[in-house]
Amino acid sequence: MNKATKMRTILITIYVLIVLGFSASVKAAQTIYPIQYGGQVKTSTYVGEVAMTVDNQFFLIIDDNTYFQLESQADLSDYNGKFVQVVGYELKHKVGPVYTLQALDPLLNDVVVENKIVAPVLIVFDISESLQ
């Protein structure tokens, strides 16, 4: 290999390392905060058990009457069935499909009974296992 070929290979290697460095720094600088505006975000902290549905949707069960649908960019499957502490932002109004439960009661002559359940959405900023 002559001197020009070595120099070209070294420059290409340095260029690739610089591009990979920029890519890694941009990836590391990404946050999970979905709300992008200048004001302060009011967060809340909740402690409860995480439950996953068959549709891979996650819910935080705080007690028998209080629960939230969890939305996160992170994978929450490791927390399924565990007590966790969640810091997040509660969406007051959800746009999208409403969850429904259907049940068939054979005594009502094949009438399908529907109960609409709307779970408030909690956008997860931080989640950690709780020592409860």
- The per-residue pLDDT of the chain, averaged, comes to 76
- The amino acid present at 27, given as its one-letter code, is K
Q: Which pLDDT band, with edges at 50, 70 and 90, does 2 fall under? A: confident
Identify whether the C-beta of residue 117 lies closer than 8 Å to the C-beta of residue 100: yes
pLDDT at 12: 92
Q: Looking at residues 22-47, what average pLDDT do you find? A: 64
Q: Looking at residues 8-37, what average pLDDT do you find? A: 72
pLDDT digits (tens, 9 = 90+) for 62-87: 988 888 888 888 888 888 989 999 98
pLDDT exceeds cutoff 60 at 13? yes
pLDDT at 94: 56
pLDDT exceeds cutoff 90 at 27? no
CA distances from 67 to 20, 37, 59, 77, 80 (A): 42, 27, 7, 17, 14
pLDDT at 101: 57
Dihedral of alpha carbons 86, 92, 95, 96, sign: positive
Q: Which pLDDT band, with edges at 50, 70 and 90, does 49 fall under? A: very high
pLDDT digits (tens, 9 = 90+) for 114-128: 555 567 888 888 888
Using a cut of 0.85, tell me whether the model's pTM lies above it: no
